[in-house]
Amino acid sequence: METSTKTARELYEALKADPQRRRFGFGRKPALVNIDLQNAYTRPSEFATAYETDPRQIEHVNRLARLLRSRGCPVIWTFVAYLDSGEDCGVWGTRADMSERLRSIKAGDRRAQLDDRCDVDRDHDIVMNKRMASAFFETNLGSLLTFHQVDTLIVTGGSTSGCVRATVVDSLSRSFRTIVPEECVSDKHESPHYANLYDMMAKYADVLPVAEVVDFLDGYEPVTESFRVSG
């Protein structure tokens, strides 16, 4: 195994600067999936479970949400919440260090509520309760994306090394072009954050500056009609 004294951030920055790095690129229709931007994970001053990498993360996510929404593309927000018994947390919630963090997030509790700084359009956006790391696991995310004829997934939220990475790997496995805006994902510590940005960029996704994603969306013209249930 090749050894290196470079930090995870240095390895990530070197890969980002590599002119030979290939991209998956954007496809015909994107969707935005915002992973677990709920108080338990976005309020460091209130909850020990929270994390923050870029203090403008939610601001950037909101801008993407408004752009996607204005072009008739799906905007999806996930959150984690469990039954009072915690049994729907499964084996994941049985480890001593995970049990308190996960099983304490109950449906309706402040920890489970999306951060009120998030620009959620309750009339049009999709809000989805997930229970495991990937937003695809035992949810209807896949069928929703198929219904909307999506081929590109823009993934934000946290944590970079946990639920974001799990969703990104599942996204690529389902043949979605997958985009991670760098400033829109976060983790508790720098090392896992940059190590996983590196790994996703190398294998599973295009990790891009949020400004580049905004530029694409500014010039994006919808290619299919947005499907809405008529009233």
In angstroms, the CA 100 to CA 96 distance is: 7
User: Which one-letter amino acid corresponds to residue 219?
Assistant: G
In angstroms, the CA 105 to CA 107 distance is: 7
Provide Rg for the chain, Cα atoms. 17
- CA 228 → CA 27, 52, 225, distances in Å? 22, 35, 9
Catalytic residues: 163
- CA 36 → CA 11, 57, 130, 227, distances in Å? 27, 13, 9, 25
User: DSSP 3-state assignment of 2?
Assistant: coil
DSSP class of residue 189 equals S
Q: In what helix (H) or strand (E) does residue 170 lie, and over which residues does it extend?
A: helix 165-173
